[in-house]
Structure 1
């Protein structure tokens, strides 16, 4: 079952664009790990927050991706840009009006 993960990442003041650049670097490995969609966004009303929406083949694929060395290295590289404020939620997708 497709798994959706939507979250917010608080950034150190003034470092949002650096985190966006890091998160949007091309990664062909994500698709091989089961990632179907990974979208990064910003809202100028909240200048120290990055928004991320992910779709995965399953919750298990998402969990397994977090154990991969490349993903662990990416997380470690992003840590200095993060404030420690996180939000979000995950859910199993049960349907959509856009496709069967």
Structure 2
């Protein structure tokens, strides 16, 4: 499995708008096992996104899906930047299949 944990920064006062875009435009993405969007309680503008994919290739391919491209286009004007980004190798847990 392939995992990503990343921080996104919304333009000042636009976090709720950005959260709505991220949550309302995440249709099925082949290979995506988990896609979690969360407020950062330590930052007025911070958002954490946690993703688990079957593999990194499926994640890369998802960036070309029409609904993902549309979501990126809507979100881009209110994204102020990005913070930390971590790649992980998930092994399983609640809601994920056990790794063989």
TM-score category of the 2 structures, normalised to the smaller one: 0.7 to 0.9
Please name the residue that 2:28 is paired with.
29
> CA shift at 1:97, angstroms?
6.4
TM-score, normalised by the number of residues in structure 1: 0.83
Alignment of 1:36-55 (within 5 A): 36-55=33-52
Secondary structure of the residue aligned to 1:87 is strand
1:65 aligns with 2:62: yes
* Counterpart contact for 2:27–2:67, Cα < 8 Å: no
Aligned length: 96
User: Which range is displaced more, 40-49 or 7-16?
Assistant: 40-49
Runs of 4+ in structure 1 off by over 6 angstroms are none
Question: Which segments of 5 or more consecutive residues in structure 2 lack a partner in the other structure?
Answer: none
Per-residue CA distance 1:78-98 (angstroms, 9 max, x = gap): 0011002332111222x3466
> CA shift at 1:52, angstroms?
0.4
Coordinate RMSD, CA, aligned = 1.8
TM-score, normalised by the number of residues in structure 2: 0.83
Question: Which segments of 5 or more consecutive residues in structure 1 lack a partner in the other structure?
Answer: none
